[in-house]
Copies of this chain bind each other. A is one copy, B any other.
Amino acid sequence: MKAISEYTSDVETLLRDIELPGEKFAGLTDPIRYALSAGGKRLRPVMTLMAAEAFGGDAMRAADAAVGLEIFHNFTLLHDDVMDKSEVRRGRPSVHARFGVNSAILSGDTMLTLASIYINKVEDLQLRRVNDIFNNMALDVYKGQQLDMDFETRDDVTLADYIEMISLKTGALLGAALQIGAVIGGASDKDAGKMYEFGMNVGLAFQIQDDWLDTFGDSITFGKPIGGDIANNKKTYLRLAVGESSGADAGALKMAMTIPDREMKIKTVTRIYEKAGVGDMCRKAVDAYMSKALGALRSTSLDDDRKDTFRRLAEKLVGRKK
């Protein structure tokens, strides 16, 4: 198998060549090109290509599906940014900040249909199966986003609710990207299912790690200001874990969340998190999900070299980089 960076550059080439509505429809095409040119790790399509190759196919047989999944992922970012009123994405104005809300809605819709069109390019024999995985995954992602929005106004959110939400919103797409690649590569249903489970659990580990980085990361490596989740009262793994802990920390956290001054609030909550040992809590949770992920990977019929490539991919993704 090739190096991960080579798959990434394959994806960039594929994305540059996608067919979009012509010049006459610049109002649709410009926001889509803008959204797709923002870079990012291209993790999902890379996973699709790698899984197709690992299970015996040529990676390029999964090229269309990989492109479809990356378009889908960017569609969700685009509509989520509208819903969250996020003006910045990957260091640039988000699509709606740059092109207006209406363009963001309509070009997002177009991207979802484009994603379907690319997913539909798979061979006849795999068409229904790949379509079903894709569409069910999409429903999961919307459900996750709905729960995430519901959480904003709920004060009874548990850690279990949170895990369900990120399973749907983050895990499902990583799982489906690997499963679809595996199916195209010719994997058995069992192996393809195990790859989904691997991706799902890597996704959970990744999201918990991402929550931790939002408070304890380095703003430059992390790509956005530190403490945003605290300032915006997001119900993160950190907040829910400490909130559910017995004793003084939960009470202190509840008080600290009401501090009006942004910087003071971030500083105080961060101190409570540290005192409660949130770093350990996160590390344990990340390790647990990673170990579930690697268990699923081990139970596939892949040879050790291939398993090792996926393990390295997962570790790269969930590496605790500050």
Contact = CB atoms under 8 A, between A and B. Distances in A.
A102 B27 contact: no
A195 to B, nearest CB: 22
Interface stretch (A106-114, A203-211, A228-236, A296-304): A106-114
Nearest to A102: B83
Given A79-B106, A132-B120, A139 B113 contact: yes
Contact of A128 (B120, B138, B150): B120
Contact of A149 (B27, B113, B150): B27
Given A21-B143, A113-B138, A142-B28, A105 B83 contact: yes
A28 B110 contact: no
A86 interface: no
A83 B100 CA distance: 10
Q: Specify how many copies of this chain sit in the oligomer.
A: 2
A114 B145 CA distance: 16
A248 interface: no
A245 interface: no
A109 B140 CA distance: 12
Nearest to A122: B128
A117 interface: yes
What is the interface of chain A mostly: helix, strand, loop, or mixed?
Answer: helix
Given A82-B105, A142-B109, A149-B27, A128 B124 contact: yes
A110 B135 CA distance: 10
A309 interface: no
Contacts of A88: none
B131 A110 contact: no
A53 to B, nearest CB: 25
Interface in A80-138: 82-83, 102, 105-106, 108-110, 112-114, 116-117, 120, 124, 127-128, 131-132, 135, 138
A24 B144 CA distance: 11
A25 B143 contact: yes
Contacts of A139: 21, 110, 113-114, 117
A265 B208 CA distance: 59
Q: Please indicate which of the listed interface residues A114, A139, A147 has the most CB atoms of chain B within 10 Å of its own CB.
A: A139
A146 interface: yes
A83 B110 contact: no
Among A113, A128, A131, max chain B CB count under 10 A is at A113
12 contacts: A28-B143, A83-B105, A83-B106, A106-B149, A108-B109, A109-B109, A109-B112, A112-B113, A113-B139, A117-B135, A120-B135, A127-B127
